[in-house]
């Protein structure tokens, strides 16, 4: 039996968000224990022209919900990008997880060959559903999750690969 687009996306997103939430908890606890302003972590960047931690959480959220919205023809819940604190990032993750859990797997069934058009910066990219998930969604999602992990690690938060991977 082939793997469905739902199975390739939603369970992977849910697992990554659970791990990301735990990593953010460790980041918040680290800031408190070290007497650091939380903003020194939430506004951290790997390099000046790269988005901060808060934006990495926002983009991971947008990528996950956008994938199921486009594939399933669902209404996209609007989450304004206003998060500045650990609590607000956790809330964003919670809202994203709740949305993902509400998605009926049948909404994504049979969409492997469906045309998906993504508009980005005045350009349109056209994919099949399968190519959209495998060549755009998953790499983009994990880029932002990994960058969030790397930002906290770079700031000294005591996290490692097991935190990123979560319980196996």
pLDDT at 59 over 90: yes
Tokens of 76: 């996209």
- pLDDT of 121 reads 85
Q: How sure is the predictor about 1, in pLDDT bands with cuts at 50, 70 and 90?
A: low
Q: What is the pTM of this model?
A: 0.95
Q: What architecture is the 5-104+128-163 domain classified under in CATH?
A: Up-down Bundle (1.20)
Least Cα distance to 78 among 89, 66, 60 occurs for 66
Q: Over the stretch 140-167, which tens digit does the pLDDT of each residue have?
A: 999 999 999 999 999 999 999 999 999 9
65 and 75 in contact (C-beta within 8 Å)? no
Q: Over the stretch 18-38, which tens digit does the pLDDT of each residue have?
A: 999 999 999 999 999 999 999
- pLDDT of 106 reads 96
pLDDT at 96 over 80: yes
Alpha-carbon distances of 39 from 23, 43, 48, 76, 87, rounded to whole Å: 16, 5, 16, 29, 12
Query: Where exactly are the structural domains of the chain?
Result: 5-104+128-163
Q: How sure is the predictor about 3, in pLDDT bands with cuts at 50, 70 and 90?
A: confident
């Amino acid at each position: 039996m082939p793997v469905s687009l739902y199975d390739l996306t939603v369970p992977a997103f849910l697992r990554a968000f659970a791990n990301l939430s735990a990593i953010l908890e460790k980041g918040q606890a680290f800031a408190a224990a070290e007497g650091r302003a939380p903003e020194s972590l939430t506004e951290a960047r790997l390099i000046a022209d790269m988005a901060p931690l808060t934006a990495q959480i926002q983009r991971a959220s947008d990528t996950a919900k956008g994938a199921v919205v486009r594939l399933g023809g669902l209404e996209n819940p609007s989450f304004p990008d206003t998060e500045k604190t650990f609590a607000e990032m956790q809330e964003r993750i919670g809202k994203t997880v709740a949305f993902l859990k509400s998605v009926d797997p049948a909404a994504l069934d049979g969409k492997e060959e469906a045309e998906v058009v993504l508009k980005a910066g005045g350009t349109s990219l056209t994919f099949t559903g399968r190519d959209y998930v495998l060549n755009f969604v998953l790499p983009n999602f994990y880029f932002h999750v990994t960058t969030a992990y790397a930002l906290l690690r770079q700031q000294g938060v005591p996290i490692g690969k097991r935190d990123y991977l979560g319980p196996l």
